[in-house]
Amino acid sequence: MPRVIDNKIWHNGQKIGWIDGEHIRDEENKKLGYFENGFVYNESGYKVAYIKENELCYENGRSPSELEHVNELIEGGIPMLAKCAIKVLFDL
C-alpha cells in the first residue's frame, strides 16, 4: 500500500517519489505531473484526471474511482487531490 511520510512517497518499503509543492516527482527527481484546483496534469501540462463529486475521473475513458477507495489506497495526511495525483501519475 502506498503511503506518504512527510513529503516522500513509499510503496512496498521503497521510496518511489516525493511531493514538491503541487508537483509529483519520481525517485530520480523527474517531474511526473502536478495537481491544482481539482485537476491532475501530466508532465506536459495535459489534464489527465479530475475530481467530480465523490469520484476520481480519468480523461482516457478509464472507469472512475471512488474517492473513498483512493483514500484507503494511499495512506498519509495529505489532501485528497494529492492522493489522486499519486494514484494517477504512478498508475496505482
pLDDT digits (tens, 9 = 90+) for 42-51: 999 999 999 9
pLDDT digits (tens, 9 = 90+) for 44-71: 999 999 999 999 999 998 999 999 999 9
Q: Give the 3-state secondary structure of the chain.
A: CCEEECCEEEECCEEEEEEECCEEEECCCCEEEEEECCEEEECCCCEEEEEECCEEEECCCCCCEEHHHHHHHCECCCCHHHHHHHHHHCCC
Mean pLDDT of the chain: 96
- pLDDT at residue 92 greater than cutoff 90: no
pLDDT computed for residue 34 by the predictor: 98
Each domain of the chain, given as residue ranges in start order, spans 3-89
Mean pLDDT to the nearest integer, 35-40: 97
